Chain A
Amino acid sequence: MKILVCVSNVPDTTTKITFTDNNTQFNTNGVQFILNPYDEIALARAIELTDGGKGTVTVINVGDASTEATIRKALAIGATDAVRVNAKPHDAWYVAHQIAQYVKANPFDLILTGRESIDYNGSKVAGMLGELLDIPSVSIIKKLDAGDSEATVEREIEGGKEVLTIPYPFVAGAAEGVAEPKIPNMRGIMSARTKPLAVIEPTEVKTFSEIVSYETPAPRGQVKLVAADDTAKLVELLHAEARVI
């Protein structure tokens, strides 16, 4: 089985988010970039599915040269090879088109993404890829079992779950539960240095969206503390003051 895992390079989860230039630019100063946590889950599952020579795992990233550390991390975790589309990702539309272009020339049985990237939180790349390649897509999956000609996936729905069977090829966005992220070992880190990483140039794509500015949430007021043995007071506050019960 040939699996493609789409990975993105995102600010570390502990990053305090700030902006510059009158709130129009994300402040990358001092920010450490990491492999998107959901992509790690997708990658881990791809490696499990191809374990023992049952296939290959290619990772693809749309990004400038600064993302290579993240791509090498994916190789160290166990991907077979990697592709970087040499462009700053503009939005999901742009990223999906670049990846679709690559896949049209290099077909895969299964394409995995993370359910969303933790920076812009869209879950759009999986669905857009599905549409551009005219294959099924499931945006958020919680489980993936691969059979010979089709896979069984579990998708979350409000108040429950749905079990689906999907023939290859298809695209799915991995969420918590699909696999445990893998930590690279020393051998992986050493071999990652010599694994193939192809750099390809982007194709021209229209852009349909632009981030014009950012806002930070309004600061909350001081916490109102209630004594541990006065829970009736808390209930009263939630009813009369906060009006939420």
Chain B
Amino acid sequence: MSVLIYAENAGGKFKKSIFEAISYARAIADQNNTSLTAVSIGNVDAAELALLGKYGADKVLNVSGDKLKDFVNQAYASIIAEAAKKEGSAVVVLSNTFSGRGLAPRVGVKLEAGVADGVVALPVQEGGSFKVKKTAFSGKAFAIVELTSAIKVIALVPNSYKVVETGGTAQVEDFSVESKASDFKAMIKEIVRSSDKVSLPDAEIVVSGGRGLKGPENWGMIEELASLLGAATACSKPVSDAGWRPHSEHVGQTGIAVSPNLYIAVGISGAIQHLAGVSSSKVIVVINKDPEAPFFKVADYGIVGDAFEVLPKLIAAVKEYKASA
């Protein structure tokens, strides 16, 4: 057996969540005394591919070509499954990104593999059993899932495993798979990237605003604090429902689930559906004028006060801290 990691790139670059997934896959390979192969699809240059070795891959299967330059769900799933077959992989690891969540189930069916997504810890393997811990009930609990198939597919949640540099080097091998025309039915017309912003699912810090901010015109404060901290911005559901912010920023049970190192909630009450998607954040800071707001019950740090007075002061304090650092 071996372990296979799908190293997803964004515009030819690997992101931190991929280095986390490689580190994680490396640890599984070590648990099983086996090797780790990374498969990279799209046009990624040699220097970037070399990074995969630095984080623990022994070998890299490099699949390139113009047709595969951008993500094509079906074709990519075929390649990953073929790579797993070629390497005799018993475990296939993906990152629980938007693309990873589309690929994992297709790869699972192709390999007749049990699939666990939303995984947050290393598998526990004893006496032939293979158990993973995954988020359930939108972060209100975890489920321990035993995968009983010969091959297992797991998707790791960003920010749930530490990046470990092994300083190794990987041998890069070109790889290709005869692709079916039917794998290319879905066509990308356009990719719109808001490149100046930190993306929400893999952000280490998130600054989030709720209805307490009163209107879209007051989001400048949220954005300024976020940009000072290198953070992504987010919001509660009523805020995106009202059109103050795009739906892609809405976090919670019916929005995006996030698990950053730091979540700063401003003017958000902390309704159970909101907490469901943010409570696995490592540190939570709440700013709310109502001392009874439920959010204070799950917060690590809190300020009871008016956002319109506290935020400008907090922005000033962060500026001062950064100037002195």
Known: A228-B304, A234-B303. A124 touches B104 (CB 8 A): yes
Q: Are A157 and B105 in contact (CB under 8 A)?
A: no
B187–A166 CB distance below 8 A: yes
For A217, list chain B residues within 8 Å (CB).
139-142, 279-280
Give the shortest distance, in Å, between A237 (CB) and chain B (any CB).
6
Cross-chain contact A124 with B108 (CB below 8 angstroms): yes
| Contact string against A for B residues 224-239, beta-carbon threshold 8 Å, 1 for contact and 0 otherwise | 0000010000000100
Contact of A210 among B140, B148, B272 (CB under 8 A): B148
Q: Within 8 Å of chain B (Cβ to Cβ): is A235? A: yes
B318 within 8 A of A: yes
Contact with A along B244-265 (1 / 0, CB 8 A): 0001101001110100011000
A92 to B117, CA, bound (A): 11
The segment out of B24-32, B49-57, B166-174, B188-196 that lies at the interface is B188-196
The complex places the Cα of A234 from the Cα of B199 at a distance, in Å, of 25
A231 touches B105 (CB 8 A): no
Residue from B134, B193, B247, B253 in contact with A159 in the complex, judged by beta carbons closer than 8 Å? B193
Give the CA-CA distance A13 to B273 in the complex, in Å.
6
In the complex, whether B59 has a CB less than 8 A from a CB of chain A is: no
Q: Which of A119, A161, A176, A217 has the most CB of B within 10 A?
A: A176
Answer yes or no: A224 CB below 8 A from chain B CBs: yes
A128-B108, A161-B248, A214-B143 known; A121 and B135 CB under 8 Å? yes
**Interface residue? B131 (CB, 8 A):** yes
The answer on a CB contact under 8 Å between B116 and A209 is yes
Check: A61 CB closer than 8 A to any chain B CB: no
Main secondary structure of the interface of B (DSSP, over half): mixed
- On chain A, the residues within 8 Å of B302 by CB distance are 223-226
Encoded as 1 (CB less than 8 Å from any A CB) or 0, chain B from 64 to 101 comes to 00000011011001000000000000000000011101
- Cβ-based interface call for B176 (8 A): no
Inter-chain contact A13/B253, CB cutoff 8 Å: yes
Distance, CA A2 to CA B185, complexed state (A): 20
Return the contact of B316 from the options A159, A231, A244 (Cβ within 8 A): A231
Residue A17 CB within 8 A of the other chain: yes
Q: Do A212 and B146 have beta carbons less than 8 Å apart?
A: yes
Shortest distance in angstroms between B100's beta carbon and chain A's nearest beta carbon? 9
Inter-chain contact A232/B320, CB cutoff 8 Å: yes
Q: B253 and A235: CB pair below 8 A? A: no
- Minimal beta-carbon separation of A91 from chain B (angstroms): 8
CB of B138 within 8 Å of the partner chain: yes
Q: Does any Cβ of B come within 8 Å of A14's Cβ?
A: yes
Is B317 positioned at the interface, with any CB of A under 8 Å from its CB? yes
How many chain-A residues does the 8 Å CB contact rule pick out? 84
Contacting pair B297 A223 (CB below 8 A): yes
A137, B106: Cβ atoms closer than 8 Å = yes
Q: Mark A11-27, 1 if CB is under 8 A from B, else 0.
A: 10111110100000000
CB of B292 closer than 8 Å to a CB of A = no
Cα of A210 to Cα of B149 in the assembled complex, Å: 11
* Alpha-carbon distance A143/B302, docked complex (angstroms): 37
- Chain B interface residue count, CB cutoff 8 Å, equals 105
State whether A163 touches B253 (Cβ < 8 A): no
Query: Could you say which of A37, A175, A214, A234 contacts B285, with CB atoms under 8 Å apart?
Result: A234
Query: Contacts of A164 on B, CB cut-off 8 Å?
Result: 186-189
B74, B188, B254, B285: the one contacting A130 at CB < 8 Å is B74
Identify A228's interface contact among B186, B193, B310, CB under 8 A: B310
Give Cα A136 to B305, complex, Å: 50
Binary flags per residue of B188-209, CB closer than 8 Å to A gives 1, else 0: 1111111101111110010000
Question: A221 near B201 (CB under 8 angstroms)?
Answer: no
Q: Is the CB of B301 within 8 A of A244?
A: no
Q: How far is the CB of A208 from chain B (nearest CB, A)?
A: 3
Tell whether, in the assembled complex, residue A226 and residue B257 are in contact, meaning their CB atoms are under 8 Å apart: no
Check A132 for interface membership: any CB of B closer than 8 A: yes
Q: In the complex, are the beta carbons of A118 and B199 less than 8 A apart? A: no
Chain A residues whose C-beta falls within 8 Å of the C-beta of B283 in the assembled complex: 238, 242, 244
Does B133 sit within 8 A of A, measured CB to CB? yes
A209 touches B114 (CB 8 A): yes
**Is A162 in contact with chain B by the CB < 8 A criterion?**
yes
Residue in chain B with minimal CB distance to A11: B137
Query: Which of A128, A135, A165 touches B105 (beta carbons < 8 Å)?
Result: A128
Interface residues of B in 114-148 (CB under 8 A from A): 114-118, 131, 133-148
Question: Is the pair A212, B144 in contact by a Cβ cutoff of 8 Å?
Answer: yes
**Which 4 pairs, one residue from A and one from B, show the smallest C-beta to C-beta distance?**
A127-B105, A228-B305, A208-B114, A159-B199
Which residues of A come within 8 Å of B, CB atoms? 11, 13-17, 19, 37-38, 91-93, 96, 118-128, 130-132, 134-140, 142, 152, 155-167, 170, 175-177, 207-217, 220-221, 223-229, 231-232, 234-239, 242, 244-245
A-B residue pairs in contact (CB < 8 Å), sample of 29: A11-B137, A13-B254, A37-B254, A91-B114, A93-B109, A120-B143, A126-B105, A127-B103, A130-B105, A131-B109, A134-B182, A136-B186, A160-B193, A160-B199, A162-B192, A163-B191, A166-B185, A177-B247, A207-B148, A208-B113, A209-B115, A209-B147, A224-B302, A226-B302, A231-B313, A231-B314, A234-B314, A236-B321, A242-B283
